[in-house]
Each structure stands twice: as structure tokens, then as C-alpha cells.
Amino acid sequence: MMFGDEDKPIKKPAAHEIGGDLGSLSVEDLAERIDLLRAEILRLEAEKERKSAGRRAADSFFR
């Protein structure tokens, strides 16, 4: 855990905050965030497909 000047824990900033200010980020920081968000989109799409497949299976079973 990191501590500030007064020995208070410093809250680690979120990897990305939707709608947050991007002005202070470098090109490298922006590229890292883009990669992070692309990976998160893939994870979300995979979960959506998994749930959709379960829904389709349930629908076909109860028809």
C-alpha cells in the first residue's frame, strides 16, 4: 500500500473512468487505455454470447 505525505493511504486511480478528462494523458497512456478497453469489450461480448446461448437452449427446451 502506498502512503502520502501525511501517512494516509493513497487511493489508486481507476484504470479508466468513462467520460473522464483525457487532456493530461500521453499518447502511450491513451494507447494503453484503448488496449484495456478493447480487452474489456471482448470479455463483455464473450459473456453476452454465453448468456445468449443459455437463453436459446432454455427457449428451445420449453417450446
pLDDT per residue as tens digits for the range 28-62:
999 999 999 999 999 999 999 999 998 888 888 88
Range of the domain at 41: 25-63
Q: What is the pLDDT of residue 13?
A: 61
Confidence bin at 26 (pLDDT 50/70/90): very high
Cell of 54: 443459455
In a domain, 8, yes or no: no
Asked if pLDDT for residue 27 goes beyond 80, the answer is yes
Domain for residue 48, yes or no? yes
Is 18 a domain residue? no
**Is residue 35 assigned to a domain?**
yes
Tell me the sheet residues that pair with 9.
Answer: 3
What whole-number distance in Å separates Cα of residue 22 and Cα of residue 32?
13
Q: Is the pTM of this model over 0.85?
A: no
Q: Is residue 43 part of a domain?
A: yes
Domain count, the chain: 1
CA distances from 61 to 1, 49, 51, 54, 58 (A): 51, 18, 15, 11, 5
Task: Kindly state whether residue 32 falls inside one of the protein's structural domains.
Answer: yes
Does residue 2 carry a pLDDT above 90? no
